[in-house]
Amino acid sequence: ELGKVSFVCFYCFSLFLLFLKLENKTKGKPQKQICQVVLDHFEKQYTTELGHTWTSVRDVLTYPLCWQYAILLNKFSQSSELENTLGVKGYHPAFQGPLPYLPALLKCYIRRTPGRFPAQKHQAGKLKEYYLLNAASLLPVLALEVKDGEDVLDLCAAPGGKSIAILQCAYPGQFHCNEYDDLRSRWLKQTIESFIPYPLINLITVSKLDGRQIGDLKPELYEKVLVDAPCSNDRSWLFSSDIQQATLRLMQRKELPSLQFQLLRSAIKALRPGGSLVYSTCTLSRAENSDVINLILNSCSNVMPVDISEMARAVSQEFTFLSGMQQHELLVLPEKGRAWGPMYVAKLKKM
């Protein structure tokens, strides 16, 4: 009898452990801890800059269980079975409004409920069918409006999601993807290899140049330039596991606007007259967003702002935007049920 009881107890305990394991799996990454030093820093800055809006944004950023993930389909490895599966799981196509630019082959699926679709592993010689990303990451690509045959520069391209999205939209004449950081550059190459087939991949140049120097090295070479600048990555910084690293980041944060300004000035030099540039970050910080763009507009007489308010209106069902922005810029604010962003986007044109 005692043997039976102990067996039943052991069996129940095993089931309990299995339940915990499954529960943890469904909860994503329960071990994520908020980095208090970063939260305190953000609390101070964003309460001033965003007012009461910061409270609801903070609630999303500090609670990964309500985060959502979009699924960008790879047109070079199409699967009708995948689209059916997404439909069954409650996903629907994003960007259904009357957008000024929406290529038919750019397919992105989202759903209101949180959770993450399983990622595909990198396999040499095999193309992936989809890319997981924050849906707001596609807004800079939609604002850039790349057309077939145009020469395009993605100045700070790693990890490669926006480069992949550009290639879903059009076939550039030349596509230059640059990433200065060595580790991130390897990541970028792997992403491109996972999504882009031969011979198209031969049109893509991957370089490791200092983005601040590209304008001098390749003056007036591109019709479209994307500057997805290094920034305070609010979402990931809040979960820094190394407090010393987090403190150092916060100290060095003051230097980012200067770097962003230099990257933008280099990008403007690399643009042909009449060409367009999109600047984006994944931070809420005004110093890295509007302030940098205003500084460029005030110091470069050969660039002008481009109105992107029509695009913002067309996607306002899917995204929440900070009010009071100028017509050439937008800032996506995460909120429950629409937990996309932060994402700042601004568009400029070279005269």
Active-site amino acid positions: 282
What is 267-280 written as a DSSP string?
A: HHHHEEEEEEEEEE
Neighbours of 323 (CB within 10 A): 8
Sheet of strand 92-93, all strands in order from the earlier edge strand to the far edge:
92-93, 108-110, 70-73, 130-133
Residue of 231, 174, 238 lying closest to 202 (CA atoms): 174
- The answer to the question of whether 157 is labelled as a binding residue is yes
Q: How far apart are CA 35 and CA 242, in angstroms?
A: 8
For tokens 């690509």, the residue is: 141
Instruction: Report the candidate in 206, 229, 226, 307 with the shortest Cα–Cα distance to residue 270.
Output: 226
Compute the distance between CA of residue 46 and CA of residue 57 in angstroms, rounded to an integer.
10
DSSP 8-state code for residue 138: G
Say whether 83 counts as a known binding-site residue.
Answer: no
162 marked as binding residue: yes
Number of separate helices (H) and strands (E) present in the chain: 13, 12
Residue 198 buriedness (CB in 10 A; 0-12 / 13-18 / 19+): exposed
159 is in an annotated binding site: yes
3-class secondary-structure state, position 302: coil
Other CB atoms within 10 A of residue 33 CB: 10
Q: Is 208 annotated as a binding residue?
A: no
Residue bearing tokens 């052991």 = 10
49 is in an annotated binding site: no
Give the Cα separation of 311 and 101 in Å (integer).
8
Please say whether the beta carbons of 296 and 303 come within 8 A.
yes
Three-class SS state of 70:
strand
Residues 6+ apart with CB under 8 A from 89: 111, 117
Q: What is the rounded CA–CA span in Å between residue 44 and residue 351?
A: 39
Residue 63 Ramachandran class (φ > 0 left, ψ -120 to 50 alpha, else beta) = beta
Numbered residues of the known binding site for S-adenosyl-L-methionine: 156-162, 179, 210, 228
Annotated binding site: 156-162, 179, 210, 228
